[in-house]
Amino acid sequence: MAARAILHVDMDAFYAAVEVLQNPALIGKPVIVGGSAERGVVASCSYEARAFGIKSAMSSSQARRLCPQAIWISGNHGLYGEYSEKVHECFAEVTPLIEPIALDEAFLDVTGARRLLGDPVKIATDLRNRIREVTGLVCSVGVGPSKLIAKLASVAAKPPIPGKGERVLPPGARRGGEGVAVVVPSEQLTFLHSHPARALWGIGPQTMARLERYGVKTVADLASLSEDTLIRAVGNAHGRHLHLLSNGIDDRAVEADRGVKSIGHEETFGTDHSEVSVLSIEIVRMADAVSNRLRDSKRSAKTITLKLKFSDFRLITRSKSVPVPVTSGVTIASVAKALLNEADVVSLVRDQGVRLLGVSVSGLLELTDQSPGREVLTEPPLVDQLDLFADMTSLDNKPHDRPPSTAVNTVDLDRAVASVKERFGDAALAPAVLATSDGLRVKRRGDTQWGQSLPEPPTVLPNEPNNERI
DNA sequence: TCTGGGGTCCTCCCACTA
DNA sequence: TCTGTAGTGGGAGGACCC
């Protein structure tokens, strides 16, 4: 049987490249996309910024120290999504077997496309040219017999960082044209074993620290350990997996239809909060956003999880599965607030202060009835057991005037809310507690994707970059 | 010195049940 | 009826990825 041909396509400095496309005045400048405030993080940066040592996931304060003249952009999740769609349309011209990893990255299985489109290197080169022609963006492509090898090859195919000299290809890889690196099956072990162990997917700082106790530095070192030793070092599933990978055995398929397993929102606050009433309002905001996305994806959820990170960076999660799958923001918020109000959590909140709060849902089910906001109801709605109007507290935490006996069919209410949002957008309607003098504090996906940004968001005018300079 | 947001997967523990 | 055990599922947390 012929070896598989897998491509790993990775857009180069994706978010930063999109911003440069939008504003050519940024060409050749150190551009950073991320949250510029104290608690922000670098999401992406141009190669000019990388020359200063800036990397993705670096804290914004560190990035500021390394490159004070950098141009910061807080990012536009929607815009990146649009470009990502265009890139995926290019993928679809090559093969239906596409496994998206992120907005800027995907695996493609082109084994079956060879007869029609040529050898994998030609497919990779043509695809790279096509993406550039359609979007104006540049990508790197790794070609290999497995996902692991293709992924590592795409890293080898990345352009050099200015001032750091030409990138040297690892042994076993060859260049298949500009931005394309190829590893053939007979060379995969040579290629793989030359990498540091940390390059393997699944080896992060903690696992690496454990492996170092066994003298492991490279993938070759890892391959020299027995499976039993690896299992002792890092646990059962992880140990077996690493044993196979380090020996070049990776038959994981490119999965075209990997479904979403959970939906959530979280946010790091500019300052820590230790008042339950303030956090309750944030829960309503997050739950409303989660509910909007659940409804858009035509799913309901069985489990609601509350996540809190305290000032000392201790992270806790509390979750609750409900008997009836839910879509409603009111229900999600009610469950999350009940989790927040558990005694041990309240005492942690008051003692420590909370820097991050998140609400997510999992155990997703397809909605059987496609009408907006329809709960999958086989028994009385859970929300009937909860205090709907507990949400309707003002900022001073005093309930609005409403007779306690008022009966409201919450399912009808949710349907009505869903239908308004479908017609006028998610920001058209929100729980009353989110109302401020400046309008509704509605959470949208990607709002604070990389942490908060400093005030006065940058506006870039053509030929006159006036982004905030830090 | 500093640590975001949105995810997935795995492990461990515990309660429940047969 | 009581006890031990194995399987299962929920909950919590750790580690990792981009």
CB proximity A303–strand C (7 Å threshold): yes
Hits for CB < 7 Å against strand C across A residues 68-107: 101-102, 104-105
Angle in degrees, 0-180, between the axes of helices A329-340 and A410-424, rounded to the nearest 10: 120
The helix (run of H) or strand (run of E) holding residue A340 is helix A329-340
Catalytic residues of A: 105
CB proximity A312–strand C (7 Å threshold): no
How far, in Å, is the CA of A210 from the C1' of nucleotide C12? 23
The helix (run of H) or strand (run of E) holding residue A359 is strand A354-366
CA-closest candidate to residue A216, choices A150, A200, A235: A200
pLDDT the model gives residue A253: 86
CB proximity A316–strand C (7 Å threshold): yes
pLDDT the model gives residue A153: 94
Hits for CB < 7 Å against strand C across A residues 6-35: none
Query: Which residues have Cβ atoms closer than 7 angstroms to strand B?
Result: A 35, 38-41, 43, 57, 59-62, 235-238, 258, 260-268, 293, 309, 313, 355-356, 358, 360, 362, 445-452
CB proximity A208–strand C (7 Å threshold): yes
Q: What is the pTM of this model?
A: 0.84
Strands (E), A82-236: 98-102, 105-109, 139-144, 174-175, 180-182
Q: Which nucleotides of C are covered by protein (CB under 7 A)?
A: 10-18
> Are A428 and A421 spatial neighbours (Cβ–Cβ below 8 Å)?
yes
CA A202 to chain CA centroid, Å, is 17
Q: Which residue is nearest to nucleotide C9 (CA to C1')?
A: A321
Q: Which two tokens stand for residue A230?
A: 């690896």
pLDDT digits over A143-162, tens only?
Answer: 999 999 999 999 999 998 88
Q: Which nucleotides of B are covered by protein (CB under 7 A)?
A: 1-12
Residue with tokens 């042994």: A171
CB proximity A320–strand C (7 Å threshold): yes
Q: For residue A11, which nucleotide's C1' is closest to its Cα?
A: C18
How far, in Å, is the CA of A235 from the C1' of nucleotide B5? 28
Distance CA A248, CA A227 (A): 14
pLDDT the model gives residue A325: 85
How far, in Å, is the CA of A326 from the C1' of nucleotide C11? 19
How far, in Å, is the CA of A41 from the C1' of nucleotide B5? 10
Q: Which residue is nearest to nucleotide B4 (CA to C1')?
A: A450
Give, rounded to a whole angstrom, the gap between the first and last alpha carbons of chain A.
Answer: 57
Residue spans of chain A under pLDDT 70: 1, 368-415, 417-418, 421-470
> Are A139 and A129 spatial neighbours (Cβ–Cβ below 8 Å)?
no
A383 DSSP assignment: G
How far, in Å, is the CA of A78 from the C1' of nucleotide B10? 32
Helix and strand counts by DSSP (H, E) for chain A: 16, 15
Task: Give the list of residues 6+ apart from residue A29 with CB closer than 8 angstroms, or none.
Answer: A46, A48, A71, A465
Q: For residue A444, which nucleotide's C1' is closest to its Cα?
A: B5
pLDDT the model gives residue A149: 94
Q: For residue A37, which nucleotide's C1' is closest to its Cα?
A: B4
CB proximity A203–strand C (7 Å threshold): yes
Q: Which two tokens stand for residue A194?
A: 């030359």
How far, in Å, is the CA of A324 from the C1' of nucleotide C15? 31
Q: Where are the alpha helices (DSSP H) in A197-246?
A: 205-212, 219-224, 227-234, 236-246
How far, in Å, is the CA of A212 from the C1' of nucleotide B16? 41
CB proximity A315–strand C (7 Å threshold): yes
CB proximity A200–strand C (7 Å threshold): yes
Q: For residue A209, which nucleotide's C1' is closest to its Cα?
A: C15
pLDDT digits over A410-427, tens only?
Answer: 566 666 766 776 666 666
pLDDT the model gives residue A46: 92
Q: For residue A344, which nucleotide's C1' is closest to its Cα?
A: C12
Q: For residue A56, which nucleotide's C1' is closest to its Cα?
A: C18
Q: Which residue is nearest to nucleotide C14 (CA to C1')?
A: A206
How far, in Å, is the CA of A33 from the C1' of nucleotide C18? 15
